[in-house]
Amino acid sequence: MNIKERIERLRKEITYHSKRYYENDAPEISDFEYDKMFEELKRLESENPEYYSETSPTQRVGGKALDKFEKVKHEVKMASLTDVFDFDELRAFIRRVKAEVGENTEFSVEPKIDGLSVSLKYENGLLTVGATRGDGTTGEDVTANIKTIRSIPLELNESLNITVRGEVYMPHKSFEKLNKEREETGESLWANPRNAAAGSLRCLDSKETAKRGLDIFVFNYQTGTLEGVNTHKDTIEKINALGFKTIPLLYVGSDEEKIINAVIKLGEDRPSLNFDIDGTVIKVNSLEKRKELGDGTSTPKWAVAYKFPPEQKKTKLLDIVIQVGRTGVLTPNAVLEPVRLAGTSVSRATLHNIDIIKEKDIRIGDTVIVQKAGDIIPEVVGSVKEARTGEELPYNMPDKCPSCGGSLTYDDADDFVDDGEDFTLGALRCTNPSCPAQLERNITHFASKKAMNIEGVGGKLVKALLDNHLIHDASDLYYLNKEDISALERMGEKSAENFINSIEASKQMGLARVIFALGIRHIGEVASGELASKFGTVDALFEADEDSIKEIGDFGEVMAKSVVDFFKKDETRYIIERLKNAGVKTSEEVKELSNELEGLTFVLTGTLENMTRDEAAEMIKARGGKVSSSVSSKTDYVLAGEAAGSKLTKAQALGVKIINKEEFLNLCK
């Protein structure tokens, strides 16, 4: 065998064994043997560059990091699905379809994978472009990252021109491994496998993506023709034969009861799957009938997604502990016997406040039902009264702050500001401004991603720094040295160095971030940006009075007072001085807020990340723009977030400019 043949042989073998390992979970050779072949191939390829091949398995380890992703316009729109939330709605869908295209209409039932949608374009059988869905029309070119996913063939079994669509996801095993590593290096943890998958597929460095263990299920083709393919079932079989890992079909047929049963069965199997699903997709099987039914304006008429109610589990409530928040609010948290829920192990859950504990009669020692609200934050739904033994203990809130012993007050109605954060009528609050628990949360907030973005500063590290008297307030972070940090338990040399570099980089974040990081009550991300634009320097803020602050359109009495009170405090002066001396940038270009959007009409639709539509509307109005509820040819901009519906479609039809949150914030600068 000559070198060329040996290289080809290795490529074939590695591709085969990789498929056995990653897709079928049934390896035939040991990892050691596999690695040996891989190393040999790598060596032969580097010694004989003339035999380079873009489809070699060695191409899956990632390449040069990018500065940004290029945009890709999808040839065929990547539509989303209409959701149904109960079986009545699902039955109504089935009946409507049957009434329209025939009683004998077949449906397919398949899992709805909780990941992110991608399109994979093949030219002459070779993978050329992998793109994210983006807004459905335009996505991002993530080809280099896509290539690192082992179950995506770099070359098809036939030399076709075709674009397929599938869902990239992170299997539980990869998710747990990733979060364990992050915990060890003090990085913040991913909340769930979906976010982790999205973040991993959008790494600019594909070598990083390669380490994340992503996977895919392919569920249809977007463009191209496949001979002899008339149904969804045919499609799945055909694309499977081309080399893709395809979505499992759980039932194909026209029997309404069997469709419902397949959905129920998947719900039952959900906890034992090794990936997250958030529902079931029910699709018309015949491609011809799909055409008859049509693709609708925003979602196809031939499919729906049945969304599962949040997964619930029973477990034991071992204890109730109090967490003191950044603004002193005391929140009762449940300490639970660990239980697996929607992809992660849960041992803590919020109990919200004492009224809820009393109303639901939740006692320490109870068997409780937990769920993830919005599938992210675990909460206790209630207790199982029948499981009581009589040993359970009712809970009462402490009458002193458990962290500092300070006295407590109740939030009352006069205190209320509708700023979407941190107010619960009747919530208990610690009144001691130097309460250590508040301090810890404050500093953690200061360093958090949306504030000064100092990597690695989770609650644990802040606590360790405070306990070791290395810091006393947030400004002290800028006076730490590497030796102090690497001496802490579980802090290696490398992590300490990353941490110091990250602190250094955070100095350039600018005034808006600094204001937000300081954690002034009622002043969120948007309000911080507005203060920074109006006042320009932190010194100007020390001088600002309530009236001048209220000139910012959406600032009311309570917010303005909160800012003035905050900058009056000696402690604030002290911290700001220390930040300045450390070289933290505390200025921003002053921008006239009043009229940059004058004469422009906006329509808002969909969900924006970290910003309510009301906040966006306030920002527009504060700058002289108008907000309208319906799209017409007079609309200048449609600001579209996630799951935007008919307004978006109309804007596209009328050719109105559609912008995302980032573009919107740029307009407002």
Q: List residues binding ligand IVH (CB under 6 A).
A: 79-81, 110, 112-113, 117, 133, 167, 219, 247, 281, 300, 303, 305
State the nearest-atom distance from the C-beta of 18 to ligand IVH, in Å: 24
Name 641's Cβ contacts closer than 8 Å, sequence gap at least 6.
605, 606, 607, 608, 609, 660, 661
81 vs 470 by CB, closer to ligand IVH = 81
State the nearest-atom distance from the C-beta of 126 to ligand IVH, in Å: 24
| Structure tokens, 45 | 């390829």
Please spell the DSSP secondary structure of 576-605, one letter per residue: HHHHHHTT---B------SSTTTT-EEEEE
3-state secondary structure of 428: strand
114 vs 615 by CB, closer to ligand IVH = 114
State the nearest-atom distance from the C-beta of 246 to ligand IVH, in Å: 10
Phi-psi region of 428 (alpha: psi -120 to 50; beta: other; left: phi over 0): beta
What kind and span of H or E run contains 95?
helix 87-101
Query: How far apart, in whole angstroms, are the C-alpha atoms of residue 472 and residue 480?
Result: 11
- Report H helices in 211-320: 232-242, 256-269, 287-293
Buried-state track 623-646, b at ≥16 Cβ within 10 A, e below 16: bebbbeeebeeebbbbbbbeebee
- Report H helices in 468-612: 482-486, 493-506, 511-517, 525-535, 538-543, 546-550, 557-568, 570-581
* 112 has catalytic annotation: yes
State the nearest-atom distance from the C-beta of 152 to ligand IVH, in Å: 16
Query: How far apart, in whole angstroms, are the C-alpha atoms of residue 603 and residue 388?
Result: 54
**Cβ(171)–Cβ(274) under 8 Å?**
yes
State the nearest-atom distance from the C-beta of 247 to ligand IVH, in Å: 5
163 vs 432 by CB, closer to ligand IVH = 163
110 vs 379 by CB, closer to ligand IVH = 110
195 vs 453 by CB, closer to ligand IVH = 195
Which of 98, 112, 265, 647 does the annotation list as catalytic? 112
State the nearest-atom distance from the C-beta of 20 to ligand IVH, in Å: 24
84 vs 401 by CB, closer to ligand IVH = 84
State the nearest-atom distance from the C-beta of 118 to ligand IVH, in Å: 8
468 vs 607 by CB, closer to ligand IVH = 607
Query: How far apart, in whole angstroms, are the C-alpha atoms of residue 664 and residue 656?
Result: 15
Query: How far apart, in whole angstroms, are the C-alpha atoms of residue 60 and residue 148?
Result: 4
Catalytic residues: 112
